[in-house]
């Protein structure tokens, strides 16, 4: 019984040291992945245009359509998370987000890339649109500031890393 008390003490110490990472590291990863994907192909648009035989202007729609999906997605995922819960919305949207990335990888023409980019953005915005509720649900008021700081860091870190890694 003494050993069990020692483990509980070590666990509570870890939770106090990293209050933002222990409850749900998956949501932290989804925040950075969805913003990373918005800008990842930005530095590769000339080569994508060359691959599909389209103009550079049309290739800029790859990033633009992802962001247009960001505009329309929160109208569905914010209210949806209040109706059915945040977890089902996140599981469904991130699954479709992944499938639409597969569609981009297997695209045979520029139109398919642009359409799948729109739907990827549409589904990718769910973790961002629900972030306020997620943070309020998981973290108590004393650690909510740290979680909000990590969220903000992830939102800004994704678009910065995207073009660097995507080139």
Question: Could you identify the residue written with the tokens 């108590």?
Answer: 140
Number of Cβ within a 10 Å radius of residue 59: 23
Cβ 150 vs Cβ 19: under 8 Å? no
51 domain-assigned: yes
> How would residue 17 be classed by pLDDT, with cut points 50, 70 and 90?
very low
68 domain-assigned: yes
Structurally, the chain folds into a number of domains equal to 1
Which range marks the domain in which residue 130 is found?
Answer: 43-166
DSSP states of the chain: -HHHHHHHHHHHHHHHH-TTTSS-HHHHHHHHHHHHHHHGGGGGHHHHHHHHT--HHHHTHHHHHHHHHHHHTHHHHHHHHHHH-HHHHHHHHHHHHHHHHHHHHT-SSHHHHHHHHHHHHHHHTHHHHTHHHHHHHHS-TTTHHHHHHHHHHHHHHHHHHHHHHH-
The reported pLDDT for the residue numbered 120 is 96
2 domain-assigned: no
pLDDT tens per residue across span 92-108: 999 999 999 999 999 99
Cβ 136 vs Cβ 14: under 8 Å? no
* Mean pLDDT, rounded, of the chain: 83
Kindly tell me if the per-residue pLDDT of 109 is higher than 50.
yes
The reported pLDDT for the residue numbered 149 is 87
143 domain-assigned: yes
> How would residue 24 be classed by pLDDT, with cut points 50, 70 and 90?
low
The reported pLDDT for the residue numbered 22 is 52
Q: Between 2 and 132, where is the model more confident? A: 132
Kindly tell me if the per-residue pLDDT of 86 is higher than 50.
yes
Report field, pTM of the whole predicted structure over 0.85: no
14 domain-assigned: no
CATH code at 110? 1.20.1250.20
> How would residue 21 be classed by pLDDT, with cut points 50, 70 and 90?
low
């Amino acid at each position: 019984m003494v050993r069990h008390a020692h483990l509980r003490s070590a666990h509570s110490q870890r939770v106090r040291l990293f209050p933002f990472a222990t409850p749900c590291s998956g949501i932290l990863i989804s925040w950075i992945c969805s913003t990373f994907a918005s800008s990842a192909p930005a530095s590769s648009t000339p080569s994508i245009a060359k691959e599909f035989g389209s103009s550079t202007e049309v290739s800029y729609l790859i990033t633009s359509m992802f962001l247009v999906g960001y505009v329309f997605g929160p109208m569905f995922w914010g209210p949806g998370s209040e109706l059915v819960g945040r977890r089902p919305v996140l599981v469904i949207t991130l699954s479709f987000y992944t499938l639409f990335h597969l569609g981009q990888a297997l695209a045979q023409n520029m139109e398919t890339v642009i359409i799948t980019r729109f739907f990827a953005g549409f589904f990718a915005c769910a973790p961002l649109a629900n972030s306020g509720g997620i943070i309020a649900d998981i973290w108590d008021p004393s650690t909510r500031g740290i979680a909000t700081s990590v969220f903000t860091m992830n939102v800004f870190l994704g678009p910065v890393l995207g073009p660097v890694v995507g080139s």
